[in-house]
Amino acid sequence: MTDSNAADDNWLIDEDDDELPASGLGAPDQRLWRVLIVDDDVDVHAVTRLALRNVSFKGRELELFSAYSGREAFEILRDTPDIALVLLDVVMETDDAGLILARRIREELHNAIVRVVLRTGQPGQAPEQRVIIEYDINDYKAKTELTTQKLFTTVISALRAYESLNMLERSRIGLGKILAGATNLYQIHSLREFASGVLNQVSAILDVGSDGVLCLMQGDTGVTTVVAATGHYAALNEAELMPTGHPLWPTIAKAFAEKKSQFEHPANVLFIHTQENREVAISVTPPWPLAQIQRDLLEVFCQRIAAAFDNLYMFGQLRKAQEATVVALADLAEFRDKGTGGHVRRVQLLSSSLAQRLHARGAYPDEVTPQLLDMIGLASILHDVGKVATPDHILLKPGIHTPEERAEMQQHAAVGQTILERASKMVDGVSYLTYGAQIAGGHHEHWDGNGYPNQLKERAIPIAARIVAVVDVFDSLLHERPYKEPWPHTEAVNYIKERAGKQFDPEVVAALLDMIERDPSVGRTPE
């Protein structure tokens, strides 16, 4: 302020130092209240800092920022999060610089919760009634009326209002995260993945950072198992059971015993009880005590994820039933063909790994979808299910097949596809049976169009079938059959290489060779 009155020199008068609160030193890891002083007079900054040096509110001290023009203040507000209060002079580089900044805070920065207190040494230049009505400010003070005690009252009132508005805003954001997070959790397929998703959502809701989050589960036996752990507790992922000597154990045990959440900083344990009578505890250790609004949000989140947890359990049971059905069908086909023992299980593992390698290489992004990656392993088990229709004298023949027998044998591809397509129509959407039908019908097709049963060519052959085609032959070469001895690993690899671009998709072969280069034991039976 350039033209201050003589009275302005004494605008901050110590009325009674004894009335000031004692310094409240909170925990060193607690955040500070951020206050921005905006004034073009250096002395105003100095005396304001002096007056507020011992002020604290709810155990949190003040962190003071200084700006000497409206433009500088705008940049600080734009770049510095969580400023709670702006003590703003009206007259600075222009007669209305403070008023312009007040408007920019709301309209350009869209910051509706920071509290703005105007301080002026020339009240007549910006009449109070007009300013209060036309500008979104929270208080208007003449510098001549601001004593130390009144400044303290103004600051504390502004911080209390900011805290209330901030809680409302965090509640709104937190509830949005809960809704989005719980929805995402319904798309997860494994308990560990589910727990990891919960941990991420909890960290997002807290929005305070965390040294780590721990998810535990306890069943009817009372045994506490570690489901997932992050950050500082990541090492517990390797420990199946929760160590009772761990510092968090007393609070965790109390949560399970009392069947309710525990907030005993630094240990905070969220308790979740599901309809399926499983109990889950999530331990979080934020660097400062959780505010009540954070506790309330986490309790709401726990209610939501309890339902998601039950759905996951039921989905898991359904998935296991599907897998059991698929395995039973494959076992039925393999039961008659004693020479293929273990073949379908090896095909399952290698098909899944090969699909993942294709994905990592960026091959066929439109075909190698997350859905395929999830289902191809189990679906590949069904590749020879059509052999149930092959007569024993052909299926079990130890020698070379005649042309007629070969033609009869080749019918298993079409038979398998027909059986699985019929079954897949009983299920909405894409399922294991959908991919199983593609694999059963297409894993004997050749890249160059010389395969069977439909002489499909190149990418007209479904990607799942092109993957299993390579895996099926590779595994068959490496293991004994009624009509052949196992091939050496090198010869089997060379055969696959030679057939790339003829029998096999070159990209799939390249991915297999990539896997073998990374791990030479790929395809070998462990001794």
Residue of 463, 451, 495, 461 lying closest to 477 (CA atoms): 495
Tokens of 172: 């709104």
Sheet containing 279-284: give its strands across: 224-229, 213-218, 279-284, 267-273, 262-264
Cβ-contact 482, 396 below 8 angstroms: yes
Q: Which two tokens stand for residue 24?
A: 């409240």
Rounded distance between C-alpha atoms, residue 396 and residue 390, angstroms: 10
Task: Scan for tokens 């091959």, then name that residue.
Answer: 363
Distance, in Å, from the CA atom of 304 to the CA atom of 482, rounded to the nearest integer, reads 57
Residue 326's nearest CA partner among 193, 423, 214 is 423
- Helix, strand, coil distribution of the chain in percent, nearest 5: 55, 15, 35
Annotation says 387 is catalytic: yes
Residue 429: both structure tokens together: 């959407």
Residue 235 token pair: 């090492």
Selecting among 320, 387, 484, 497, the annotated active-site residue is 387
Query: Taking the CB of residue 262, how many other CB atoms lie within 10 A of it?
Result: 20
Tell me, letter by letter, the H, E, C secondary structure of 371-411.
HHHHHHHHHHCCCCHHHHHCCHHHHCCCCCCCHHHHHHHHH
Q: Which of 41, 49, 100, 50 has its CA nearest to residue 74?
A: 100
Instruction: Provide φ and ψ at 64, rounded to 5°.
Output: -100, 135
CA distances in angstroms from 13 to 47, 54, 209, listed in the order given: 10, 16, 41
Could you give the CA distance from residue 89 to residue 102 in angstroms, rounded to a whole number?
10
Residue 182 near residue 281 (C-beta atoms within 8 A): no
Q: How far apart are CA 265 and CA 242, in angstroms?
A: 20
Catalytic machinery residues? 387
